[in-house]
Amino acid sequence: MRRGIAVSPGVAIGTAYVVHEIFVNPDTKRLEDSEVTAELANYEYARDKATAELRALEIKVESQVGHDEASIFTVHQAILRDAAFTNKIRSWIVDERMTSPAALHRLLGEYTQLFTRTNDEYLKERLNDVRDVIIRLGSFLSDAVNPKTEYLDGPLIVVTDELLPSQAVALGEIDVRGIVTQAGSQTSHAAIIARSRGIPAVSGIKGVLRRVNTGDTIVVDGRDGHVEINPNPESLAAFRKLEREFFDLKDHLAENRDHPAVTADGISLKLQANINLLPDAKAAVAMGASGIGLYRTEYLYLTHPDVPDEDEQYETYRSIVEASPNNNVTIRTLDIGGDKTIAYLGQNHQEANPFMGWRSIRLSFEHPEFFNTQIRAIVRVASEFPDGNVRMMFPMVTTVEEIRKLKSMVRRAYKSLNNRGIKTKELPVGMMLEVPAAAVSIDSMLDLIDFVSIGSNDLVQYLMAADRDNPKVAHLCQPLAPPVLLVLKNVIGACIEANKPVTVCGEMAGTPKAFILLMGMGLRRFSMSPAFIPSIKQLASQISVHDAQQIVQSVMKLKTTSQVKKFMARQIEQIAPNLVLLDTI
């Protein structure tokens, strides 16, 4: 049994499906003599396609973003033309009868060993360029992103280093019951995707790719962060019982999808969903969400083959709104940075602390035309739906000056669209509160915005000065830490006093312990992974606002995170013991 970070609750048992960094199953087949010429042709075809794609990308990025940002694709074309690079691939195909994917996999291994021996940051960055080129070549040669799994029995447990957005989209087509990753945290791509689909998941299990083979039986316990590989019969039977209980609970809770979200004393709540892509919007409808409280637009960029233009963004956002509950969607502008990077925005370099560096609106301000394209697309969509249905939210706002600059950009977008003959109407504009400076100065910001959405994932790590992806300080990055609760209480109170709608859209909104506390602080709007909505709706019906307020009063007297956790665990056991299975904090 291996212990990692519990990131998505529940228990799942299935067949391990090991997804390596580049290729799902690096091909070990040895070519026949008669196949060598065809394999060389396959490689040349992939090389030509990759070169053409990179050239088109270079032109598009240069026109939409800038010359310097497009230079990354010039570098990648140079790597493809490099004689040493190509000659190695050809020689392994001819002399060692390797397939093209196998040769690329071997070449990446050689470059990785060579570059990781150096302390030179420039050379380390070149390794990332080589990796990107090999991934692009591999996409024309292998089934790495669209795997064939027919030969595997039963439901699958995906085991990988980290789940990339493009892989996540492809995995939506197969029967994935659990996810295990070597890297990542409670807020990584894999964690967010797993929670949005109600899939048990565990992250941060070092070396798991060396210990698990495709075809192994594997157990994922997303409540406690346990993973068991090829369990003995007694252990397997115990976990199968827990798995049945988990699925029975999910099925039972899903029956409340058409019921209103109301507390035990009759207070109405808004339970909305966090989504990344169109299938998540459909899941939000299926789970009974009242709307979309957070649409993360960066997944469009992360899964797009190049740069989405204004019309492409408009069509995507429109399809999301049309598919969402009550056509009610809060669209967050591009939140790139930290663990989500795009090379053509100049993010191919390494920052000492990327989560606190050049990201979100800071990066958007650096590329105003690129940013204005997204704002115009959002305004166009909002103008086609009833007033207030579509809202625009800006991430990582830190100062009053930033809000004024953002609102000026929105006004320019209206003017630009009107000049093109496109009718527009004003949409609500809000901020995502993640930075402690904004929390401290919230009173001075509320007059400038229409609503506030609290991003607890980042707010917690910034308040506690603890990188959420660093296992050495993970014990500090706790949403139930007393300082975090105090800040949340103050921000929620300030918004209520100013009569500004406030939502928590961080992951803590969908966890039973945190939900009760947030409700007791006065919060009435919550946005969470779609899969959590039925359980939170059930919990809300079992507790009154008065009782939640009493619990908050008791908790605010506690001095340590462990005291808060133990106290809230007892409350959950008394109020809704069946939901203990779904709590991870």
Active site residues: 189, 505
- The whole-angstrom separation of Cα 280 and Cα 300 is 13
How far from the centroid of its chain's Cα atoms is residue 271's Cα?
20
Helices (H), 3-142: 36-64, 67-81, 83-95, 100-116, 121-139
Residues 6+ positions from 420 with CB-CB distance below 8 Å: none
- DSSP bridge partners of 533: none
- The whole-angstrom separation of Cα 452 and Cα 432 is 6
Residues 6+ positions from 388 with CB-CB distance below 8 Å: 427, 428
3-state DSSP assignment of residue 418? helix
Q: Which helix (H) or strand (E) holds 294?
A: strand 292-296
Query: Which DSSP category does 340 fall into?
Result: B
The answer to whether 90 touches 315, Cβ cutoff 8 Å, is no
The answer to whether 503 touches 293, Cβ cutoff 8 Å, is yes
Question: Which has the closest alpha carbon to 81: 47, 107, 37?
Answer: 47
Residues 6+ positions from 129 with CB-CB distance below 8 Å: 72, 75, 76, 79, 348
Residues 6+ positions from 263 with CB-CB distance below 8 Å: 269, 519, 540, 541, 543, 544, 545, 548
| Lookup result for tokens 């939409």 | 64
- The whole-angstrom separation of Cα 547 and Cα 263 is 11
Token code pair at residue 120: 């030179």
Question: Which has the closest alpha carbon to 317: 295, 345, 342?
Answer: 295
CA 347 vs CA 1, 125, 337, 443: distances in Å: 38, 11, 8, 34
Label the pairing between strands 451-454 and 502-504: parallel
Token code pair at residue 511: 């966890």
